[in-house]
Amino acid sequence: KAGVTQTPRYLIKTRGQQVTLSCSPISGHRSVSWYQQTPGQGLQFLFEYFSETQRNKGNFPGRFSGRQFSNSRSEMNVSTLELGDSALYLCASSFSGPTMNTEAFFGQGTRLTVV
Partner 1 sequence: GENVEQHPSTLSVQEGDSAVIKCTYSDSASNYFPWYKQELGKRPQLIIDIRSNVGEKKDQRIAVTLNKTAKHFSLHITETQPEDSAVYFCAASPKRGSTLGRLYFGRGTQLTVWP
For residues 80 and 102, which CB has a smaller minimum distance to partner 1 in the complex? 102
Any contact of residue 74 with partner 1 (CB under 8 A)? no
Residues 46/36, Cβ–Cβ less than 8 Å: yes
Q: Does 94 bind partner 1 (CB under 8 A)?
A: yes
Residue with smaller CB distance to partner 1, 37 or 79: 37
Binding to partner 1 (CB under 8 A) within 40-59 occurs at 42-43, 45, 48, 50, 55-56, 58
The residue type at 63 = R
Confirm or reject binding of residue 105 to partner 1 (CB under 8 A).
Answer: yes
CB of 80 to partner 1, least distance (A): 26
Q: What distance in Å separates the CA atoms of residue 21 and residue 37, rounded to the nearest whole number? A: 15
d(CA 23, CA 105): 12
- Going by C-alpha positions, the residue among 99, 110, 101, 112 that lies closest to residue 8 is 110
Told to check if 31 binds partner 1 by CB under 8 A, we report yes
Is the Cβ of residue 81 or residue 109 nearer to partner 1 in the bound state? 109
In angstroms, rounded to a whole number, what is the distance separating the alpha carbons of residues 99 and 77? 28
